[in-house]
Amino acid sequence: MTETNTSALNPSGDPIRVGVYVCHCGGNISDIIDTKAVAAELAGHPNVAVSNDYMFMCSDPGQALIIDDIKANHINRVVVAACSPTLHELTFRKALHRAGLNPYLFEHVNIREQASWVHKGDHEGATRKAVRLVAAGVEKVVRQDELFPIKVGVEPHVVVVGGGVAGMSAAVALAGRGLGVTLVEKGVALGGRVADLDRVYPTEERGADLVQDLTRQVGGHSRIDVRLGSEVVGLDGHVGKFAVTVRASSVASEDQDRLVRAGAIVIATGFDHYRPAQGEHGFGESPAVITLPDFQSALRQCPASQTSLQANGRSVRSVAFIHCVGSRQIDGVHAPQADGKVNDYCSRTCCTATLHTIRQVQSRFPDVDVYDLHKDIRTYGRGHEAYYEEASRAGALFFRFPDDEPPTFAASTGGKCAGTITTRDILTWGEELEIPVDLVVLATGMVPRDIASLIDLRKLPVGADRFLQEVHPKLRPVEIGVAGILLAGACQGPMDINEACTAAQTAAVKAAILLANPTIELDPFVAVVDGERCDGCEKCLAECEYKGALTMADLQLAGATVRRAVVNPAMCVGCGACVAACPPRAVNVAGWTLDQFDAMVDAIVAEDVGALAHTECRAGVRHIEFAVISGGN
């Protein structure tokens, strides 16, 4: 992990010539902002050589403007003032690269979301704001270092944690793409929660059959190493080069630990069923109140020849299902969980699972009266609405209880039925109803499994709902903040089998893309320590959240051995916590240096773009390139 730090000038040695391009975004920007005026004002900046506006900078002719200016007008820095950088920053970096310029000598200024869209009523003010934002961009880009992606060598192996349907699907998909897989399962058999299910929606297959099929596929792959009764107890390294310690729980001694080197890790630890609190809808107080998983296993064990539904030694003539038990809880209405929070999320699968179970009851025991008590019905999946439709037409009676008044159950002694549910029903104009029932089934939701020890190994990001949290639910759905660690299935949030397996496939593909080449390229926006300024105070170490990203090392400097902070660029995420802690300003995040921030702030508060100082070829402009990291741990 060496850093080539050429403290020389910009590579060509030419004076800094910035090209500024103000995009109209087809009217999104130019209807509000006077783009010509912005371009004209920026032309007054001493470092700006070209300043233009254009209808669509992201279009091919727009990009050609930049490329032509780089080649013909010797532009060596580019600022595009347009949409959000998440949309087109990469587009323009690639354009710079095609023109032969380092792609990081580019600044993308967002004058759409940050100016035109939010100041529709103030054209003049929006224009003034755009000028200052672009000027700040220019001031930043003239201080920009030449950067190169970090390259990391790759181990073509993946550790999958959890042997349920998601973990098995991921393992099979990964092995099918030529990668080695270690499948670590805590339990004594593969299959997870699905193995407990009778029939699954919407295919009506048996859970056991699904598990058996996947287990066969896993067993048939020579590249998959299944570790049953095992846990991950150690996790070191970084994307491309993880070192995972797997311990068999039957063998307590540490010398039995197995060290697995892997380029990526897929977490598929799944969920737990919510366990109702004592007295929640009568749970634990009466044997007539059971959970949906318990009811499903009872159904599974009930022989097909049996014509009447039995529970607790009595014939069941009526059964009520209560939705949202342990899900969509409301602060102040429901008792908080162990961590003091309520489960305010929707568990998503229970509505369809409940209605699917109701259909099974109706078709096997047509004489049983079925009641369904819900806040809302959310059968969101394709074709799932059919279960509601069929259950309703077959005579299931639906009640809708208010969010803040969950139904209560009282057992009756010696009555005709096991007890009575009392509920307020919105469909009956909020009146209070009493429903005599023999059995109450609580549609319990999903809660995350207790994987605290795994989370602690690498500070895995956990959401407010205690499930593992992805970077972005739509744009990066299976990735987390730690590069190389991917999510598959219900460890991330409530999912049904279909979704969990889809997520597993996605994670497998993501891992396969990561590990497809001998090296991985990472963004170079990581901390860089200036060894000459660093005085070894170690204040930065205390701030660093990422294990292994920042360490102290003895370096030779001007003939003396000194202790200095050293960054592992593969582990650093560029959060900047160390930058803030460093008294001598020795640490900077590449591409986002303190000098750049200072200059940007100065530009924003400056009255006149033309009055900003001309920046010569600065001494600080560097060419930062990291060596390929291949050492591992």
The residue ranges that bind another protein (CB under 8 A) are 318, 369, 371, 389, 392-398, 422, 425, 427-429, 431-436
* Nearer of residues 25 and 391 to another protein, judged by Cβ: 391
CB of 422 to another protein, least distance (A): 6
Residues 276, 284 contacting (CB under 8 angstroms): yes
48-54 β-sheet, strand order = 48-54, 18-23, 77-82, 106-110
Q: Which is nearer to another protein, 398 or 597 (CB)?
A: 398
Give burial (CB, 10 Å; 0-12/13-18/19+) of 199.
middle
| Placement of tokens 């060419």 in the chain | 623
- Determine contact, residues 589/556, Cβ cutoff 8 Å: no
For the bound state, the minimum distance from the C-beta of residue 387 to another protein, rounded and expressed in Å, comes to: 14
Question: Is the Cβ of residue 198 or residue 425 nearer to another protein in the bound state?
Answer: 425
Buried b (16+ CB within 10 A) or exposed e, 332-371: eebeeeeeeebbebbbbbbbbbbbbbbbbbbeebeebbbb
Q: How far is the CB of 464 from another protein (least distance, A)?
A: 33
Alpha-carbon gap, residue 163 to 382, rounded angstroms: 27
User: What minimum distance in Å lies between the beta carbon of 413 and another protein?
Assistant: 18
| CA atoms within 13 A of residue 63's CA, in its CB half-sphere | 15
Q: Which of 80, 11, 79, 23 is nearest to 47 (CA)?
A: 79
Q: Are 551 and 540 in contact (CB under 8 A)?
A: no
Closer residue to another protein in complex, CB, 227/356: 356
Two tokens at 139? 């001031």
CB 415 to another protein: min, Å: 12
**Which is nearest to 421 in space by CA: 430, 412, 408, 431?**
408
Q: Which is nearer to another protein, 59 or 392 (CB)?
A: 392
Nearer to another protein, 299 or 394 (CB): 394
Nearest CA-CA partner of 107 in 74, 68, 147: 147
Residue number, 69 or 369, with CB nearest to another protein: 369
Q: How far apart are CA 509 and CA 170, in angstroms?
A: 9
Least distance from another protein to the Cβ atom of residue 326, Å: 25
Q: How far is the CB of 420 from another protein (least distance, A)?
A: 8
The gap between the terminal CA atoms of the chain, to the nearest Å, is 12
CB nearer to another protein: give 140 or 281. Answer: 281
Based on CB atoms, which residue is closest to another protein, 330 or 427? 427
Cβ at position 432, least distance to another protein in Å? 4
Question: What amino acid occupies position 402?
Answer: P
Residue 374 beta carbon to another protein: minimum distance, rounded to whole angstroms: 11
CB of residue 396 vs another protein: minimum separation in angstroms?
8
CA distance 455 to 449: 11
Q: Which is nearer to another protein, 405 or 465 (CB)?
A: 405
Considering beta carbons, is residue 77 or 378 the nearer one to another protein? 378
Can you tell me the distance from the alpha carbon of 290 to that of 441, in angstroms, rounded to the nearest whole number? 5
Burial class (CB in 10 A: 0-12, 13-18, 19+), 204: exposed
The neighbour count for residue 216, using CB atoms within 10 Å, is 9
In the complex, minimum distance from the CB of residue 391 to another protein, in angstroms, rounded to a whole number = 9
How near is the Cβ of 199 to another protein at its closest, in Å?
Answer: 23
Return the biggest CA–CA distance within the chain.
Answer: 97
In this complex, which beta carbon is closest to another protein, that of residue 396 or of residue 573? 396
Nearest CB to another protein, comparing residues 60 and 434? 434
Phi first, then psi, for residue 426 (nearest 5°) are: -65, -35
Task: Give the sign of the dihedral formed by CA 534, CA 537, CA 538, CA 542.
Answer: negative
Element (H, E) at 139: helix 123-141
Question: 27 exposed, middle or buried (CB, 10 Å; 0-12, 13-18, 19+)?
Answer: exposed
Q: Minimum distance from CB of 154 to another protein (Å)?
A: 55
Task: Return the number of the residue (106 or 387) whose C-beta is nearest another protein.
Answer: 387
Which residues, 6+ apart, have CB-to-CB distance to 598 below 8 Å? none
Least distance from C-beta 472 to another protein, angstroms? 35
CB 432 within 8 A of CB 423: yes
